[in-house]
Structure 1
Amino acid sequence: MSRELNHLYQALAADTDRQALPGPDQVRRRADRRARNRATLGVVAAAVLVAGTAAGAQLVLAAGPGRTPVQPAVTPTPGPSTSPSPAAPSPTPSRTTQSPSGTPGGPTASSRPPAATPTSIPDRAFFTLPAANDAGTGSQFVPGPTLPTLCGSTPGESGIVARRARTLAFKLAGTPAENVPDGSYRNSITIYQAGRADDALRELRQAVRDCPRQPLANAPGATVTQRLLAGTRYGDESVLFETRTPYRDVNGNPSGGDEVHLIRAVRIGDVVTVLWEQGWEGTSTNRPQFEADSRRATEAVRRWLG
């Protein structure tokens, strides 16, 4: 062995003698501690890997096919000198008007303005006779009275806004075309100021009660009687009455029987329509035809007023 190698072995032996070697138990405990640390680190690393994989899968699924995965939001940590700004106050919800059914909506029925009263009367406000009753003479809008004379009283002449009246003849269904008409109407429509139409009907009732009998014009000694009748109600309210005159011969003497005519006034709101059956060459009113035409007159005014 060379002198240099021998010198190196001597130096190694000297260093080994200065440090005491650990015992077997210490060596075993150190080895067990290292093994436990390695196992713990392995479990933690596996958990981190699994969590990261799950989070990545959720981002990919949320993005959907063909979409870019959403990156997780990172909440910045404010620095020491940064203070959060106060949140803006929430706006106060506006108040909405409740409709009668309780749902939000526009103005309620009670707040809607009432329909304006018309100031003129068009032709369409008057009823049209069915073809079976059309006498072929048409309607003539001519001036004249709208009610029979009632002992000089003229009910319903106050608060008038507009009025139109016409005369038209009619035939009963089945009457031959070459025959003369079976009767005629004086049909009027009157618009009253608000609240005055019911006054007009009240005045008419009273005028009929106050005039049960009066002299017949242009027939000395003859009389005409008036009386209120019960009947079907039309419109908002209606008044029905009759005029009755004895038939007379050419000498003016009673010949038996009476000529009877019916008059009905119907109120719809502030409008009153009057149907006055005047006969034709001494005929009396046919009640079924008069009732049917009363309905037509009422419905025509309703359609016009809407």
Structure 2
Amino acid sequence: MKEKFFKRLGWNLLGISVALVFLAPLYIVFTNSFKTAKGIFTNVLSMPVKDTFTVNNYIQAFKDLNFIHSLANSLFITITSTVLIVIFASMAAWMLVRSKSKFSTFLFFLFAAAMLIPFQSVMLPLINLLGKLKMLNPIGLIFAYLGFGSSLSIILYHGFIKGIPVELEEAALIDGCNKFQVFWLIVFPLLKPITVTVSILNAMWIWNDFLLPQLVINKPEWHTIPLKMFYFFGQYSKRWDLALAGLVIGMIPIIIFYFFAQKHIVKGVTQGSIK
């Protein structure tokens, strides 16, 4: 009994230690975002006190970030890209599962192999192509996200669709449905668990992405929150009070989204792997 107790205690202490290592930077960012510049340089680790506490950092950072406009840009790009990925990836995966041929198998492995290609190796040709097509704008960015996000999404959908009985589709065809109706009325509603997972994973990736928007978007009025934060932090690199407040403002939307969606991530991935 004592052995089990000390073993469990050891694992608990290890878990707490690891959690503290990951939470420490968040604590430092959050507490110092409410301090004046003098308060930050006086003691970085302390909580804000009466003489150093201020909320003016957030007010100024909110204005200088043009947060509402940047938020609208991020929402438009994230939602549109995620919806398109869900639509095209689910249809592609369904056809790959139901079309049992060497060509469909080849295509599936091609999508899987595409995940192994580093983004840096296709970065310059992609930007060159988008430039020639005059798509260095949010539309071009959405198009790029559709391409990069489809591979993983198709693999997730592919594993889930295998568990859907083909007899359901055959019965719908006998009742007079065409292929389009079979997919949207019969198959797609059954994909809800994995669709939620695919949507969440892609939304979090697209929302937090910095490199691709920096390469594709070339006008300040199109900047997403991560891109706006990059230029904001560079502008206020010597004003840590404003920079840290800006970082907290930038993190709030995705943190709220994750807390509401985290249970669906585990549930969807688990169901997809079982099926």
Higher normalized helix content (fraction of residues): 2
Q: TM-score scaled by structure 2? A: 0.21
Higher normalized strand content (fraction of residues): 1
Structure with bigger gyration radius? 1
Q: TM-score scaled by structure 1? A: 0.19
